Amino acid sequence: DADVTQTPRNRITKTGKRIMLECSQTKGHDRMYWYRQDPGLGLQLIYYSFDVKDINKGEISDGYSVSRQAQAKFSLSLESAIPNQTALYFCATSMGRASTDTQYFGPGTRLTVL
Amino acid sequence: LAKTTQPISMDSYEGQEVNITCSHNNIATNDYITWYQQFPSQGPRFIIQGYKTKVTNEVASLFIPADRKSSTLSLPRVSLSDTAVYYCLVGDWSKSTFGDGTTLTVKP
């Protein structure tokens, strides 16, 4: 969805480096999410944010941190990247928290940690 | 987490109807059921959502029995472009998981 953008789209880095993935949205949604997807598997929730002041851990938050700089921006950081963090990372947004609220996904960031 | 169970993979041929069933035995009273489609290297996209009985849109139908412990996504007359992974989600996004989905392969 073009309303949700992610930068960079591809990144190759080395073990131990700090990496930041950025997500921006123009949908005006309060909730934002970061997911990780390993090859052939489903998406795993890393962190989610209800609003600028509310950030919550998902299933697999260890090794990751996030920052919600504004309603429209949600960044994911890997403080010290390791090879098993090589994956496809998706940002998503939704208007609210109800299960009726559709999630809108960005195009993804392919991260490779050597 | 609201756990769901789907078949890992399914094969079909162009023009056939495809039904993908999802089990969600611990669905809560207020939970809705949502299906997403994901093409390789793209983010998932919303297909359809329902609470009970039947929902139909221009893309698919969703059948939910009275006990709501399962649901069936029905794709009419599939084409090659319907080859994708299909995920069933139940409940609030902070409590549900995408799981591994069902990989549908449509053959000519």
The pLDDT tens digits for A31-42 are 999 999 998 888
**Mean pLDDT (whole number) for A62-70:** 95
* Reported confidence tier of residue B1, pLDDT bands at 50, 70, 90: low
- Chain B positions touching A109 (Cβ under 8 A) are none
| Residue in A closest to B100 by C-alpha | A42
Token code pair at residue A98:
């109800």
Q: Is B81 on the interface with A (CB under 8 A)?
A: no
- Chain A positions touching B99 (Cβ under 8 A) are 42
* Reported confidence tier of residue A25, pLDDT bands at 50, 70, 90: very high
Q: What is the rounded CA–CA span in Å between residue B12 and residue A1?
A: 28
**Mean pLDDT (whole number) for A13-17:** 97
Best residue of A35, A43, A60, A110 to probe chain B, by most B CBs closer than 10 Å: A43
Q: Is A43 on the interface with B (CB under 8 A)?
A: yes
Give the residue from B66, B40, B37 showing the smallest Cα distance to B49: B37
The pLDDT tens digits for B42-100 are 999 999 999 999 999 999 999 999 999 999 999 999 999 999 999 998 876 666 677 78
Please give the pLDDT value at position A89.
97
Task: Kindly tell me if the per-residue pLDDT of A1 is higher than 80.
Answer: no
Q: What is the rounded CA–CA span in Å between residue B36 and residue B84?
A: 10
**Mean pLDDT (whole number) for A61-79:** 96
* Reported confidence tier of residue B29, pLDDT bands at 50, 70, 90: confident
B31-62 b/e with 16+ CB inside 10 Å = b? bbbbbbbbeeebbbbebbbbeeeebeeeebbb
Q: What is the rounded CA–CA span in Å between residue B104 and residue B101?
A: 9
B83-103 b/e with 16+ CB inside 10 Å = b? bbbbbbbbbbbbebbbbbbbb
**In a 3-state reduction of DSSP, which class is residue B26?**
coil
CA distance A17 to chain B (A): 24
